[in-house]
Structure 1
Amino acid sequence: ATQKTVDGPSSKDWRGGRAASFNIIPSSTGAAKAVGKVLPVLNGKLTGMAFRVPTVDVSVVDLTVRLEKAATYEQIKAAIKEESEGNLKGILGYVDEDLVSTDFQGDSRSSIFDAKAGNALNDNFVKLVS
């Protein structure tokens, strides 16, 4: 990453020149484009942004979606848990404990769904955090 440890000039943008160890910094990300390449059905249907935060390791995905087919948050959690124990075991994790970023350091799974961090506005609009 190009983030500075102390305030200084950045060739990318003003915020990028601010000290990483003291600030939460909004930034761009190529993650949405990468998802479209891996899952072509989602190509062009996602957008994203990043927050650079002063943590040693670990990142977070905050995914807000509008569902075509209604599903309760409980149903979504159950489906994710089932996949984390089945086809995606070792890749997708599932937690329903009160954990923080340092609790995930050293975990080899690609993503760990935090069942307590997400929520639903209704059965067609949900926020998932992993």
Structure 2
Amino acid sequence: NDKFGISEGLMSTIHATTATQKTVDGPSAKDWRGGRAVNGNIIPSSTGAAKAVGKVIPALNGKLTGLAFRVPTNNVSVVDLVVRLEKSASYDEIKKAVKEASESSG
């Protein structure tokens, strides 16, 4: 965001199963998808990750939306972030900016 600006974005988070999920199909208090058996299904869910980013980086507040998927694995987590930039940038420029940001403390 500091280098190119983010006008909007979508975060898709992929998470491993959790202890609160069903091992066999059954009712869910949250939504019908949550009632699916976790061992054989990829289950779409909501996430608070986009709102959390807006709290940590106030300039992004309200610019990101998000969704989550629970996948039948023991341990995995990944975020796919797609954004619309305010300034144009090449792929190499974006890679360089991410690398520089990862190596700085501020």
TM-score (norm 2): 0.75
Q: What corresponds to 2:82 in structure 1?
A: 64
Gapped regions of structure 2 (runs ≥ 5)? 1-17
Counterpart code for 1:17: G
Counterparts of 2:29 and 2:77, CA distance in 1 = 24
Counterparts of 2:98 and 2:67, CA distance in 1 = 24
For the pair 1:87 / 2:67, whether they are aligned, the reply is no
Identity, % of aligned positions: 76
For the pair 1:47 / 2:65, whether they are aligned, the reply is yes
Counterparts of 2:63 and 2:101, CA distance in 1 = 23
Superposition RMSD on alpha carbons, in Å?
1.3
Q: Secondary structure at the match of 2:24?
A: coil
Q: What corresponds to 1:101 in structure 2?
A: none
Gapped regions of structure 1 (runs ≥ 5)? 89-130
Cα offset, 1:64, TM superposition: 1.0
The structure with more strand, counted as a fraction of residues? 2
Counterparts of 2:101 and 2:61, CA distance in 1 = 23
| Total equivalences in the alignment | 87
Counterparts of 1:72 and 1:5, CA distance in 2 = 45
Counterparts of 1:54 and 1:3, CA distance in 2 = 11
Counterparts of 1:73 and 1:54, CA distance in 2 = 32
Counterpart code for 2:104: N
Q: What corresponds to 1:24 in structure 2?
A: 42
Counterpart code for 1:28: S
The structure with more helix, counted as a fraction of residues? 2
Cα offset, 1:59, TM superposition: 1.2
